[in-house]
Structure 1
Amino acid sequence: FMSQDYYQILGVSKTASQADIKKAYLKLAKRYHPDTTDAKDAEKKFKEINTAYDVLKDEQKRGAYDRFGHDNFQNQQSRGGGNHGGFHPDINDIFGDFFSDFMGGSRRSSRPTLAKVRGSDLKYDLTINLEEAFHGIEKNISFSSEVKCDTCHGSGSEKGETITTCDACGGVGATRIQQGFFTIEQACHKCQGNGQIIKNPCKKCHGMGRYHKQRNLSVNIPAGVENGTRIRHTGEGEAGIRGGNSGDLYVDIAIKPHDIYKVDGANLHCKLPISFVNAALGGEIEVPVIEGGKVNLTIPAGTQNGDQLRLRSKGMSKMRSTIRGDMLTHIHVEVPKNL
């Protein structure tokens, strides 16, 4: 991992969602945890994985990392975000409790736009029954999250008020000083790196462009959904700060255990009690099926206890497919106590 950046360490792209980053981290953390492997470099790799995840899981730190680059980011972090030549970072900067000044080359021309911050992703656990999973269903869910302010439309400014260019940094969002061979760049203390000044913040959202609200959302669960399926609803997560893009909502599906059927992929298993006479002589019996109703099942003569009989295409439906699994009946012969 030594020469890799944080995205490469976790094996994700620079556009990866928070859910993808977390998934990659958990997989690698389990693989390299010192308690689960005897590899000599496991502890070192485990620390690097945690360092990468600590930055990329935080939208503000991740934004700073993307903006200033891997080397400058690590240099600043190794210096503990300390002061340089009397420069004192503003603790109320958009970076929060992270550092607010970075070392960069004199050729830096990119502006550290810190105003718009993407909203966080949300996760919702939804439990459904097996019949709902088979047929598919539309469910109404309720949850609370940050939503775009309907008063200022996400700008953070009072209606009718203009947002002016910061006179301290000229709208660049950063100030620079020369320190030896280096140019030190710091988010502007006056506009907090925004490049603009909100003279009269919106009273409803206090200048953030969003506020907390209880939400109701209709989610479509497709037929054939499996236990553990994650459904992504783009843009339905928390609203971004000051007009930033909204995060995504991830609905995690859990299917309740069924009284009759046990699920095995797309196949269904059920216990089927039959009489001693039916087992010996054969015959037909009615068997309930998942879509509702019953179908006839032929019992061959001489059927033994524990035999398995298959009803083809009577199992679960499959997502985005017309193919169904099978239903497998496990025979339980009921022997009379008195002959």
Structure 2
Amino acid sequence: MSTKDWIEKDYYKILGVPADADAAAVKKAYRNLARELHPDRNKGDKAAESRFKDVSEAYSVLSDPEKRKQYDEARTLFGGGVRVPGGGGGSFNFDLGDLFSSGGSTAGGGLGDVFGGIFGQRTRPRGTGARRGADVETDVSIDFEEAVEGKTVPLRMTSSSACTACAGTGAKAGTVPRVCPTCTGTGYTSTDSGGFGMAEPCRDCKGRGLVVDDPCPVCSGSGRGTTSSMMHVRIPAGVVDGQRIRLRGKGAPGERGGRSGDLYVTVHVGTHPVFGRKGEHLTVTVPVTFPELTLGAEIKVPTLNGIPVTLRIPAGTPNGRTFRVRGRGAPRRDGTRGDLLVTVEVVVPHRVDSSAKEALEAFQSATSGDDIRAELMRQAAQGG
């Protein structure tokens, strides 16, 4: 196979197996696809013929333990697939500069330039290319209800941008920067040590590739200024405290045509005096009386939207039991809602009047024959 094949090819995806599939699973997937795509069954079908070749190529690599090991190592190193040169086993030799220089140029010269320098090639990265803007981080605080239902919040962002006085050149009006003589405009310098080459940002121009002799008085030659803007960010429904939201392209502007960085918003959610959160569900603890649990009752339970619901408590309900009221929780991504988890808790009155006291004494007398701690004592005695 050619070393100039696309490094992005994913043999696992071609065979439809996960990256940790064993040899038997790889073989089974190949046989099924080969039988389906074989030219004898798809005469004249160019697409099937092309797929059959891809499947055969993928199997030739993944079925060979040594080739598969080399392929996996390359995917881990470079973040994508790579076609391994033919031959059985041996060292993993291929031309990094050749692989990474094909397929168009990148803003900063591409990985081919960097790795080419490391492995002895003398091509240099182009420091004067487009540069991506920096990522920006900010925090926002919202109420409990706003976190459950979602909210659009205004954010005033202050970020770095091209200086308006010098249009980002860093040079005083009427002058222009000159090409850095140290790095000849690349923004990088190379050092060699025993055949091992390293490229690093030029110290004289700080990686810009340009030198400013008469700096702009506004930005002091940096070419950067500060801008302030207002944007409205939608906080999704169901967000939790501490969640980090990423907004692509909303960070600092790029340089020389580079794309903007990203904005990261960390959300801080306030507490609620009544309700709590458990994932997509809301929680609430409702006080009840002993007779309500013993005899059964129907009680009103609050919800976050302010409209109470009726909850029926069966007779003989133990203290601390949790009931589920469906559809009264936080929104899910599919548009449905979680549940409201209602925990009942007996409240003991601090004071009782004479009639209530007589009723309690009568109840105590009527149930005095039942030793509710007998089983506890029996189990403790057996355990000892």
Short-chain TM bin = 0.5 to 0.7
Q: CA deviation at 1:280?
A: 3.2
Structure with the largest fraction of helix: 2
Q: Which structure 2 residue ranges, 5 or more long, are not aligned?
A: 1-71, 81-107, 361-384
Residue 337 (structure 2) aligns with: 324
Q: Which structure 1 residue ranges, 5 or more long, are not aligned?
A: 14-62, 74-102
| Secondary structure of 2:292's aligned partner | helix
Q: CA deviation at 1:328?
A: 1.0
- Higher deviation after alignment, 177-186 or 228-237: 177-186
Report the Cα distance in structure 2 between the residues aligned to 1:146 and 1:114, rounded to whole angstroms.
19
Residue 53 (structure 1) aligns with: none
Residue 105 (structure 1) aligns with: 121
Higher-Rg member (1/2): 2
User: Contact 1:155–1:243 (CA<8 Å) still a contact in 2?
Assistant: no
Q: After superposition, where does 1:1-339 map in structure 2 within 5 Å? A: 8=76, 66=111, 68-69=113-114, 72=117, 104-106=120-122, 108=123, 110-114=124-128, 116-142=130-156, 144-158=158-172, 194-196=208-210, 201-213=215-227, 215-240=229-254, 244-318=258-332, 320-336=333-349, 338=357, 339=360
Residue 325 of structure 1 aligns to which amino acid in structure 2?
G
Report the Cα distance in structure 1 between the residues aligned to 2:256 and 2:220, rounded to whole angstroms.
11
Structure with the largest fraction of strand: 1
Corresponding residue pairs, total: 257
Cα offsets for 1:149-169 (capped at 9, x unmatched) = 334443444567556666887
Instruction: Note closer, same or farther for the CA distance 1:206–1:131 as it changes in structure 2 (3 Å cut).
Output: same
User: TM-score scaled to structure 1, two decimals?
Assistant: 0.59
| Secondary structure of 1:69's aligned partner | helix
Cα offsets for 1:186-208 (capped at 9, x unmatched) = 87787666455556544322333
| Secondary structure of 1:278's aligned partner | helix
Q: CA deviation at 1:184?
A: 9.4
Residue 69 of structure 1 aligns to which amino acid in structure 2?
V
- RMSD of aligned alpha carbons: 4.4
Report the Cα distance in structure 2 between the residues aligned to 1:288 and 1:12, rounded to whole angstroms.
52
Instruction: Note closer, same or farther for the CA distance 1:160–1:116 as it changes in structure 2 (3 Å cut).
Output: farther
Q: CA deviation at 1:173?
A: 5.7
Q: CA deviation at 1:138?
A: 1.3
Residue 151 of structure 2 aligns to which amino acid in structure 1?
I
Cα offsets for 1:101-131 (capped at 9, x unmatched) = xx9534x2x4432565433222223232220
User: Contact 2:128–2:186 (CA<8 Å) still a contact in 1?
Assistant: no
Determine what percentage of the aligned residue pairs are the same residue. 35
Residue 87 (structure 1) aligns with: none
Instruction: Note closer, same or farther for the CA distance 1:153–1:253 as it changes in structure 2 (3 Å cut).
Output: same
User: TM-score scaled to structure 2, two decimals?
Assistant: 0.53
User: Contact 1:118–1:239 (CA<8 Å) still a contact in 2?
Assistant: yes
User: Contact 1:209–1:243 (CA<8 Å) still a contact in 2?
Assistant: no
Report the Cα distance in structure 2 between the residues aligned to 1:266 and 1:275, rounded to whole angstroms.
29
Report the Cα distance in structure 2 between the residues aligned to 1:263 and 1:140, rounded to whole angstroms.
25
User: Contact 2:149–2:330 (CA<8 Å) still a contact in 1?
Assistant: no
Report the Cα distance in structure 2 between the residues aligned to 1:245 and 1:306, rounded to whole angstroms.
56
| Secondary structure of 2:291's aligned partner | helix
